[in-house]
Structure 1
């Protein structure tokens, strides 16, 4: 009802001013009436916002339940893409980690017994020693919940050894056993964490980005009081309602490994359950360099993933072959479990996946060349090391994934895919410090600043020229629109203090956007009425237009919020939301400014002695100014505009193939690489390469000799 009251107030003010003109009343009196009504306007608007906020508030228990549902939905999709539950999957087997990587078992058990209640779970089920942690596959849930006294576990393994898959299995097991009130297990990728910043704050920030309404203000006070946002995400983390499963410790910059290990031990409460996954060698080095005298994660047990046993590896390789075709693996299988380069490379799930993808027999069309034969991997002269075998597998993986004989033929050739993926990988290595998080809104870093600005100006200039020209006539509109929008494009691009890549994607919920639009429009009209009423004269109309536009921009921005994701969503959903926001902003500003232009410049003269512009002229002035404001606001408040400029520049500069020109094409390519090629994986709102060594290989493909894991 408050919004309707505001609408009536503005309409009444406009009618009052119109009547004052018709009957030649004193405009200062009308303006004074408007001023007297402003307090009521503010109180009505504030009451409306407070009522809506109170009605939509969540408590922590409800937030935890909804978070668990979102995790389950994501888990089902991830398990399908990773084929975790396919028939006869590769088994993941582990044993206790080496003694130098863990605390003494009596100390771990003693620590748990010292907690109130004697530690989690039934002590009778605790492992008697570290050797009791051995197991495989589905046993990971029992190992974590029953056998580890502190419920703190480190999962170690070789590159491509199955650590991430085991984490997903554990997440599924924990969600299946979870009861109301239990912490919600959530999988986090540590690649974007800076260990010099508080871990709890980073965990909360990840939740805000990916889950429903967790950026809403928490209804309960945080105890103890803390600085920073007191929202649901922070409350869930601070109150122990989250069980973090931390993947990719080894993907942090090497210099930060000891700092990260120290932070994991010191910043989380000692009774906080957690799981950490890392490469064995990286974790060993971090433990040795840990400032806390070579300590591992405080109170944590650790397991070491074992190589895939030769019988399981052989069965996996032959699974797609039958009859004579299955015998193509005989020479390779004879070397499994040995110290030969191919035997070492195919001892991990990653190596086996790559080999089967590349060499597995598939139905051949007459125009499709014969695939390579796996026997080539046994050539010690060509591939003398494990790294050399991996280099060959990475080289052949993209052509196999994008081959014409693939079960789902791609829209892009292998060469086009190789070119695009190499650009993306080099972006992560060169501009993101080796991070694994491929965020579409950060791709502006790959393009020099000047081409971005020029492209932004050209695109917005042509768009504005055509739009204004269609409304008021091609000859006048093209000139006015082109000049105005070229300037607007340059101003909008340069307005970002850090370049186009600094924009972040945002979703402005429709309710909040409508409120902002309504308040902004009313503020513009009220400001114009006030200035006109007090100043009088024709020249004051321009001052009213400028003041109204400024109030409109400020009021609209005050009510527009950042991302409120309805659930854990993917990059495509975030981009679609951000694109809608941009179109709303760019279209709304010209509408409002066009009406103001007709009223202030078209029907009346702006200055004495100068005739009125007419409806067409006033509309042209308003549309041009509106597009200028809209473009600037769009670049400032959304990331999609900069992303569109970036993809255009990358194509024009011949860094991306022309088939990937434009944001829609590139996002379709990324989605296909995730869902159908197995090249990318999705982690919340970003993509990652299936394995960091694949990312590094692609980044180096045209810049020296890549090395395998």
Structure 2
């Protein structure tokens, strides 16, 4: 039975760590302590739920990867080289300092590094009892089985875990950039990415931090850091230093790496050597030729079967050594060989290639050549036709897709192994989404105004106000200026300016005088709408990332000022004032828009992608209202100022009825409608919070996409309903303005009145519903990831880089072909060496 270090105190949550303070009886699995505050038992229950989810996740993945094979390979290990780990006497001293009595002779702790040697299931005993500090480095050659050994240890630790104890969680280090995020922030980000429910913030007792960070601070997560060698060489030293500084005294940690890469980080050619503080180490051994032969024959049906007989030449060569024996000394290469040369259940014997080619091919004269041959033949073998497990994709199509994904990971993702569907947008040109979103926003608004015009022309809604002809095209097209707001929210400044330009074009066409002064007034007004809408998009773009990803990355931290946005705002504001024939106002507007542009973009996030949204709920946030009010006033204030200066009180508001009509509908309907849309839209987006869901469900990429799409629909419908109703009432009130019979040549304030009608109410609600649907679509697009992913997937499919049914392809490659593995909410290629081989192979093949 494992010691108390593994059987953690049931239902007890340790205190948060304090820098520089040594505490006894603290380790990866904390011992019982005094009763915690009233809010902390929730963390223990949360840890129990997390343990269920982690166990389900890796039990499923272990089955996919073949860890639960009836006759699995057994890897053995020896103590790691002494130069790469701490001296054993020092480890005993550290252990006694962190936990007095643990390093005693009767504690079961190893007496020296030689006692760490073992194989298979002994890894739990090595980590749980023999290593005094609960810090272990697992070293080995490429494909030697380090990850699978960590998975086995993880499942064993959870099996022996007591309620309320720490939860072992496996983290793949390839996606960590030590220069961008410290270790604790990165671990928090990965936890919230894989388990969305951990992104929710805790109560006042936790200081308002996320649940994921609270679990880490209370040592309820045992980090198992896999793939240290997959970090860039120049980042490994900094990463090791951060691990030493971030993991406090007494906290357990497990780190895996290739031996050579870890040795280069520990003892660099230039610089001070530094090891993982307080860590013992083991090094995985190559598989024994006899074990290899027995496994290959068992997998082929057993000795004496026709399938196993095909391996006889290879089995004989293993005893003599050579390139084939060297290549097949790792579990990874054996997995590739069995996939390529052993027929699957139900396949004829000649469906698979003969293993004799490993010996007969003269080109396979070295270990590297044999390994490259196995990598090259693996994908076609995984996708060969099989009646019981048919594939919708041919081997050529699958190979092309996998090569593109590998090259995407190597180039765009800087060698990271994660293949996250919401990060594929990095593979499309940056200009594509803003341009496309701006065009769509303009097209949608043009369609809305055209439909409004048609209904008003043939229906009774506004006939009593505008005559039998209803709304004219120019009057209805003024609603197209909302395209700037919508395009800006979804596509930031670029999308806003494009959408506003298209929306304003409808006004120019309807006006019938494309060269008149009024044309420039409308075009510059549209640019104002688009610029302000883009600023709203800049300010709200980071909300979803902070909501689903925990703390904000350092690279996306706030910048003090954006010079480019300030210059653009100054130009737009100045042109707008000049187009209205008011030079003094042009200077003021240029200064105002330069100020809000530089501040808004400077305080906005970087161009990071929006992660998938969990189920959402809404709660009031005053920040959204003030942001929306500021953006709405930035749009409406110039319109009102110009309207009052041209039709001011000193001139009786207007020279005639036509002037009042234009001033009323442009300055009231559209300006007030824009203000309403800004306030409500920002309030809804800022009020979004992650809703608590079932943490015990294991994460899956397809499930995240389905949840994100469901959130998109719900959020879009709610936003469309709220904003549509509000805008409808605004339009109804504005369209109800009437003029009293004038007895003089001037129209005075007291001549204006309200005459609401039922047709006006129906018409206002109809227009509000159309515009609300467009704004709801924009808000849902901004706060979820499925919209950009859909555009990205379509673009890459049209370019013949990815299949049209991408998620189905990835699921099939993971569950049925064994080409991909799953780590939390993302896919990865089976091994980093396979990824590098496919990426290198893609360089020699032209893009289709």
TM range (shorter): 0.7 to 0.9
* Aligned position for 2:699: 569
* Aligned position for 2:314: 332
Is the counterpart of residue 692 in structure 1 residue 832 in structure 2?
A: yes
Separation of aligned partners in 1, 2:306 and 2:456: 74
* Aligned position for 2:234: 255
* Structural mapping, 1:432-451, within 5 Å: 432-451=413-432
Aligned-residue offset at 1:487: 6.4
* Aligned position for 2:339: 357
State the SS of the aligned residue for 1:449: coil
User: Cα 1:465–1:575, aligned 2, differ >3 Å: closer, same or farther?
Assistant: farther
Aligned partner (choices 418, 421, 441) of residue 402 of structure 2 = 421
* Aligned position for 2:266: 287
* Aligned position for 1:667: 807
State the SS of the aligned residue for 2:310: helix
User: Cα 1:598–1:556, aligned 2, differ >3 Å: closer, same or farther?
Assistant: closer
Aligned-residue offset at 1:636: 2.1
Separation of aligned partners in 2, 1:614 and 1:291: 79
Aligned-residue offset at 1:686: 1.3
State the SS of the aligned residue for 1:701: helix
Aligned-residue offset at 1:74: 1.9
Separation of aligned partners in 1, 2:693 and 2:258: 33
Deviations 1:612-644 (A, max 9, x none): 996776456434432442333233211111100
Aligned-residue offset at 1:551: 2.1
Is the counterpart of residue 198 in structure 1 residue 344 in structure 2?
A: no
Aligned-residue offset at 1:691: 0.4
State the SS of the aligned residue for 1:441: helix
1:156 and 1:278 in contact (8 A); partners too? yes
User: Cα 1:565–1:402, aligned 2, differ >3 Å: closer, same or farther?
Assistant: farther
* Aligned position for 1:16: none
Separation of aligned partners in 1, 2:96 and 2:126: 18
User: Cα 1:671–1:362, aligned 2, differ >3 Å: closer, same or farther?
Assistant: closer
Q: Which blocks of at least 5 consecutive residues in structure 1 are unaligned?
A: 1-54, 223-227
* Aligned position for 2:717: 587
* Aligned position for 1:375: 356
User: Cα 1:587–1:463, aligned 2, differ >3 Å: closer, same or farther?
Assistant: farther
Separation of aligned partners in 2, 1:463 and 1:120: 71
1:445 and 1:501 in contact (8 A); partners too? no
* Structural mapping, 1:588-607, within 5 Å: 588-601=718-731, 605=735
Is the counterpart of residue 296 in structure 1 residue 247 in structure 2?
A: no
1:438 and 1:686 in contact (8 A); partners too? yes
Aligned-residue offset at 1:667: 1.4
Aligned-residue offset at 1:191: 1.6
User: Cα 1:570–1:109, aligned 2, differ >3 Å: closer, same or farther?
Assistant: same
Aligned partner (choices 150, 154, 164) of residue 133 of structure 2 = 150
Aligned-residue offset at 1:181: 4.2
* Aligned position for 2:102: 119
Count of residue correspondences: 630
User: Cα 1:311–1:464, aligned 2, differ >3 Å: closer, same or farther?
Assistant: farther
Larger radius of gyration: 2
Deviations 1:528-577 (A, max 9, x none): 9xx9xxx9977545444333222211221222025866424222222222
Is the counterpart of residue 314 in structure 1 residue 293 in structure 2?
A: yes
Separation of aligned partners in 2, 1:369 and 1:453: 53
Separation of aligned partners in 2, 1:241 and 1:291: 37
1:485 and 1:628 in contact (8 A); partners too? no
Is the counterpart of residue 635 in structure 1 residue 635 in structure 2?
A: no
Deviations 1:24-74 (A, max 9, x none): xxxxxxxxxxxxxxxxxxxxxxxxxxxxxxx99973222222222222222
Separation of aligned partners in 2, 1:403 and 1:356: 14
Instruction: Give the TM-score, by structure 2 length.
Output: 0.67
1:151 and 1:273 in contact (8 A); partners too? yes
Deviations 1:378-408 (A, max 9, x none): 2463123222222221221111112212742
1:217 and 1:232 in contact (8 A); partners too? yes
* Aligned position for 1:22: none
* Aligned position for 1:431: 412
Is the counterpart of residue 550 in structure 1 residue 529 in structure 2?
A: no
Separation of aligned partners in 1, 2:134 and 2:243: 14
1:210 and 1:565 in contact (8 A); partners too? no
Separation of aligned partners in 2, 1:68 and 1:121: 31
1:191 and 1:248 in contact (8 A); partners too? yes
Instruction: Give the TM-score, by structure 1 length.
Output: 0.79
Separation of aligned partners in 1, 2:105 and 2:193: 37
Moved more, 547-556 or 376-385: 376-385
Aligned-residue offset at 1:292: 7.6
Separation of aligned partners in 2, 1:564 and 1:250: 36
Aligned partner (choices 354, 372, 389) of residue 370 of structure 2 = 389
Is the counterpart of residue 507 in structure 1 residue 488 in structure 2?
A: no
Aligned-residue offset at 1:461: 6.8
* Structural mapping, 1:228-243, within 5 Å: 230-243=209-222
